[in-house]
Structure 1
């Protein structure tokens, strides 16, 4: 089945964009004519684009982002929940359509929106379901969907910027690795035969490279084993608490990447807490919801500890200070919000401050990554080339 991207106009005169799966273009056009009176464009999406869009987690993230946005608009316009979900489901042409039909059935059977979302399995995260439940209890479900959409959108934009920032350095590393392997496996053996014929003594750097070239298979196997071992440790960290705690702490305290990760976690945590405070949900309950937004086990443990401290009567500012995960300016804003009764607004401002700092760090990483990678590749390639050229110069001087 191929994937086709279409643009058309529905019966209400609204422009519709989406994707449809079909065996060929004629079948896709025939299926579209059944629901759209006018089709403006229809073209096949490339295989690389399909694989990129279907990478793990991407489809669910986009679906949740679109769902929160549409529900915010339609509920804010005064539509009932059932009608809003029915309109949203009518515009879907993906694998999520069946899930939305099940959601409509649960709503028709008398379940609330949060209960219906919970019955669908993995279409909606536990955090999203808890947020919707809080909006139903507080009576401002449309506003909760709006804040939810802003949080998800900022998170997705940050991940997208990070992917773009790392794409070019990774490409340079791949090209550099191919070049070094070519020099070691194809160029150096030829020069080694020439040197051996003249009986010249080789420099230490050249002998080292020749040793690497002769044992390239062994070194490649060791490198692959190291990569597999690292991946195995990361996977084990998701199941073993003490290992996950140590890996999570290490990830937050790395020189550059750790600071970026820490600021992103802080921004998401504070934004979710602000939304819970606006919805009238108690802080220790909101702490459990914010905990599920993170995959870092060390951060999750810190959230659990802060939730227990809140139940014991400590203020939020004291709990955040004891965790050691927040800067002084954020702690000052939280404590000021508790004293003035504007905690929700201060949490929101603190989250925006951390988000801005995370974006600045990401831009700085994007600017510095390219010259650092070029310097590293230039050093490695230059070392290999000089180790090859210097023996030739020595041989020319002897002759």
Structure 2
């Protein structure tokens, strides 16, 4: 790993932004439950909410601080960097898929910096984190008086992305009515603020991210098929931490070395602690790893800078051994069902990966990884084997 120099403030900022993986939604948005309370509050409080929500985007637009590197030397990490380089050298929409906590926004920021729009704005918005009216205002902007509490005209995320990148996180949770208006903007390149009558031309590249299967949402009527085809052009599938081998140790060491509390910078993982990290499945991915290390560091400081295996307290182990065992069983079942769905698609397409991608909505990279994991085993045999495992699992339920 390359060493990076940080002053106290930027170290804290970079540490949180890199591996919180939803850092923008935590720093730039008032939580949705707070929004709902404010919506029911007097008009003065609502106007204060709107004023408070102006600043994060303006700071983001003017910030060109590069994100930290994607850490890891595994095949998966190298493939991810290659995907970013390939997709960055284009202007087509990108859909980033992956489980919660894997670092989809980090990937989006690297795409921005590797593109021809690197000197333009990076305008992020959590598409599923707010009530419908506020989501429309955040995305399209509004004129003064457009709704109760709109005391001043405000630019939306789309206009803020003009000349740069619009990053829509959790796009699978976007309300259908907002999807309709977004589709119109993508089709004609014109955006109209809420309450406004004049459309403005915008030029941006769209990067979307989701941790849900959008194709399933389309079939369930939760996502517009025409919007799906608009955003599902270039695809980057971010692998979960448990599939990245020794990357977990490299990431953990980076987190410790770059922790905002400089007392932790000399702490070292012991070999047994490293083995314990590698043995955990991390359903919360890198976000969970950050939390685990944050719990461990105060104890490691008292152990003369040695982070020991007993310092590592995993989320599901807090409830005791039975809780940990149950969570492990749930994780195993989830992994089994995921493998079943992939092999089912591969079997139905007679081993044709392109057809399997179309059937499942998963990325080509996911199926390539699956084929490698079969180690020469025929996919039809693997499918029969996983079917037997699923039947055994259901029998135990």
| TM-score, with structure 1 as normaliser | 0.26
Pair member with larger Rg:
1
Structure with the larger RCO, 1 or 2 (CA within 8 Å, 6+ apart): 2
